[in-house]
Amino acid sequence: MCLAIPGQVVAFVAEQPALVRVDVGGVRRNVNIGLLEEGELALGDWVLIHVGFALSKIGEAEARDQLRMLRAMGEDELAMEEVRGYSFAADDGERR
């Protein structure tokens, strides 16, 4: 329920300032950045993602810690399933 999934910002989404494209273990999806301050994110930054929203900006080392923790908790598959499942912004043929 309270999965917090690390992802790296790989693109800003044209015409949709509320979204950024993130890469989570090779899967790319758009997530909402409305819970961060405006202008907080740059390309290459890492964020923690929860239910389709970036909750906070984190460092690269923290992102790797978080990924390792999900793996050790046996929740990495669940996390990938969640990210793949975000359908609100699937516009790249990667859906399902």
Partner 1 sequence: MSLKYVDEFRDPSLIATVANEIKRSIDPERHYRIMEVCGGHTHAIYRHGLRDILPENVELVHGPGCPVCVLPTGRVDDGLAIASQPNVVLACFGDMMRVPGTKGTPLELRARGADIRMVYSPLDALKLAQENPDTHVCFFAIGFETTAPSTALTVLRARELGIGNFSVFSNHVTIVPAMRAILDSPGMRLDGFIGPGHVSSIIGCRPFEFVAQRYGKPVVVAGFEPLDVLESILMVLRQLRAREATVENQYRRIVPWQGNAAALRALAAAFELRPYFEWRGLGFISQSALKLKSAFAEWDAEARFAVPGVRVTDPRAAQCGEILKGVLKPPQCKLFGKECNPEHPVGALMVSSEGACAAHYRYARLDEAVHA
The residue (of 22 and 83) whose beta carbon lies closer to partner 1 is 83
Angle at 26 between CA 15 and CA 92, to 5 degrees: 35
Nearest distance in Å: CB 74, partner 1: 7
Pairing verdict, β 46-50 and 27-32: unpaired
Interface with partner 1 (CB under 8 A): 1-2, 4, 18, 32, 34-37, 48, 50-53, 55-56, 58-59, 62, 65, 68-69, 71-75, 81-83, 85-89
CB 32 within 8 A of CB 19: yes
Both structure tokens of 51: 């239910």
From CA 4, how far away is CA 13, in angstroms rounded? 22
Nearest distance in Å: CB 81, partner 1: 8
Nearest distance in Å: CB 4, partner 1: 5
